[in-house]
Amino acid sequence: MRLKDKVAIITGAANGIGLAAAEVFAREGAKVALADFNEQQGIESTNLLKEKGYDVAFFQVNVAERESVNSMVSDVLETFGRIDILVNNAGITKDGMLSKLSVEDFQKVIDVNLTGVFHCTQAVLPAMVEQGKGKIISTSSVSGVYGNVGQTNYAATKAGVIGMTKTWAKELGRKGINVNAVAPGFIETGMTAKVPDKILDQMKMMVPLGRLGIPEDIANAYLFLASEESNYVNGTVLHVDGGIMM
């Protein structure tokens, strides 16, 4: 098992990529804290994993609020005793063309996708520094690298995640903490389920592999960066996009 006895916090773990990652990590021996804003869905997903025999627990959190994040991290430490891995996976979209994008929608995405990553990372830092070891993985996006029409707010946050990742990698490397990011491409999630088939076909045509990714593709990237196999990987952005932006 690649994560035997490790304790991992995964934000946005109630569904989609976060839930896939929680199951992959648990299967590899980790004790997993599923952290999510949606309490009902989070509890349901956690119970499903418990039924499979995994050592998991749910923690309700609003990553945009520091007090909520501090409380979640404190509860995880009380439950599991340590924190070895943080996956900053929680994120939202509120797309709109620049000319029509409201200040409220711009700020909400910043609060969750960017400030939330800052809150969670800073909150787990004391525990990791005391241990002298840790893995921090944040979710960026190809939109944060190349931009995307109608995603001023989302692209800004995902570009910001890359900047923070590289900064923290330089600050924390000598403390035994590896900091990396994953940049997913088009992934089949609840969001893409609402996209018309014609648009999905166009998206697939843009990908050299000829298909959209699945949540497990991203979860497996998280797993590599969380495992001992990536101990000399620091400050990188791992693209998992089927080659869409070569």
The number of angstroms, rounded, from the C-alpha of 221 to the middle of its chain's C-alpha atoms is 11
Instruction: Tell me the sheet residues that pair with 183.
Output: 239
Distances in Å between the Cα of 58 and the Cα atoms of 41, 42, 73, 106, 223 are 10, 6, 12, 29, 20
* Amino acid at the residue 246: M
Distances in Å between the Cα of 207 and the Cα atoms of 160, 210, 213, 244, 245 are 25, 5, 10, 5, 8
**Are the CB atoms for 35 and 18 separated by under 8 Å?**
no
Annotated catalytic, 232? no
Tokens of 59: 């923690």
Q: In which residue are the tokens 């991290």 written?
A: 73
Q: Which of 59, 78, 79 is nearest to 69 (CA)?
A: 59
Q: Of the listed 54, 146, 154, 232, which one is catalytic?
A: 154
Sheet containing 85-88: which strands, arranged edge to edge? 56-60, 31-36, 7-11, 85-88, 134-139, 177-184, 237-240
The residues annotated with a catalytic role in the active site are 154
